[in-house]
Amino acid sequence: MARLIGGVGSSHVPAIGNALEQGLQTDPYWKPFFDGYKPVWNWMEDKKPDVAILVYNDHGLNFFLDTMPTFAIGAAAEYQNADEGWGLKPLDPFQGDPEFSWHLIDSLVHDEFDITMCQEMLVDHGFTVPMSLMWPNQDTRDQVKVIPLCVNVVQYPFPTAQRCLKLGEAIGKAVASFDKDLDVVILGTGGLSHQLDGERAGHTNREFDTEFLEKLKDEPEWLLKYSNYELAKIVGPQGVEMIMWLIMRGALGGNIRELSRNYHIPISNTAAGVILFENDAV
């Protein structure tokens, strides 16, 4: 059976893609951010997961606003990255695991989640930046098969935080019922607090982000007391992306340990966070 061995929460700011392109990892602006990923690199190197389920949002590459699925899952053998219009160089394609994708979709739909199935799906920086961050070495990255899970946090109404947590729990069940000997990792991406639009652009909220990170392991339900409107007010309209971390957290279940955490303001306009959880059974 497949095993969910751990999960990572991570920001996916496009500027990180530029920094990686230019090799700025030790630059004074970037060092405190990239240093926070060292425990994740070591863990991935050590555990060598076979499959990564990557929870993210599309920013107008694959989905336009005409048809906006709340939850969409890729079921393709390969996922292409492409030009997003503002200059980030497209990365090489990522290998999928269609059999696992269809199992996941089947299990989730029979668990009452109405999933949009995508046999073709372009993946944008929301997907590629976390992949490059988790596996900075291209050869290692290419050995991990991916399942993209795209969440609408662009055109309101978004799914509720509670729905995200429950979807995560259902993903945990789906992974455990897949009849293949695979080690799986789940990545919840986006956030933390940031605001790109409006006169309040540049807004961040260290206090709230810190509490979110503090409670994520033992009390993820803490976030459910805030509506997405309230979250927009507190952490900025794009900070609401942190609800995608709850999908990762929900999937991991009760018996986990936190291995590392980092928080750094600013990366471009964003308060960037990273957290690594491991399943106790590993």
Partner 1 sequence: MKSLAGKEPIPGTTIFEGRMAMKGYALNKMCFSFNKAENREAFKADEDAYCVKYGLSDAQRAAVKKRDVLALLNLGGNIYYLAKLTGMFGLNMQDIGAQQAGISLEKFKAKLLAAGETKNG
Interface residues with partner 1 (CB under 8 A) are 14-15, 59-61, 64-66, 82-87, 154-157, 193, 195-207, 209, 227, 229, 232-233, 236-238, 264-266, 268-269, 271
Q: Which of 12, 59, 110, 125 is catalytic?
A: 125
Helix H or strand E encompassing 102 = helix 98-109
d(C-alpha 88, C-alpha 198), whole Å? 24
Least Cβ distance, residue 232 to partner 1 (angstroms): 6
Closer of 78 and 207 to partner 1 (Cβ): 207
Q: Enumerate the H helices of 35-112 as residue ranges.
A: 38-47, 98-109
d(C-alpha 258, C-alpha 126), whole Å? 24
CA angle 109, 130, 281 (to 5 degrees): 65
Residue 194 annotated as catalytic: yes
Least Cβ distance, residue 211 to partner 1 (angstroms): 12
Residue 59 annotated as catalytic: no
Q: What is the CA radius of gyration of the chain?
A: 17
Helices 38-47/125-134 angle, 10° precision: 80
List residues bridging with 56 in a β-sheet: 150
Closer of 160 and 260 to partner 1 (Cβ): 160
Closer of 87 and 281 to partner 1 (Cβ): 87
Closer of 102 and 156 to partner 1 (Cβ): 156
Least Cβ distance, residue 138 to partner 1 (angstroms): 24
Least Cβ distance, residue 35 to partner 1 (angstroms): 14
Which residues belong to the active site?
125, 194
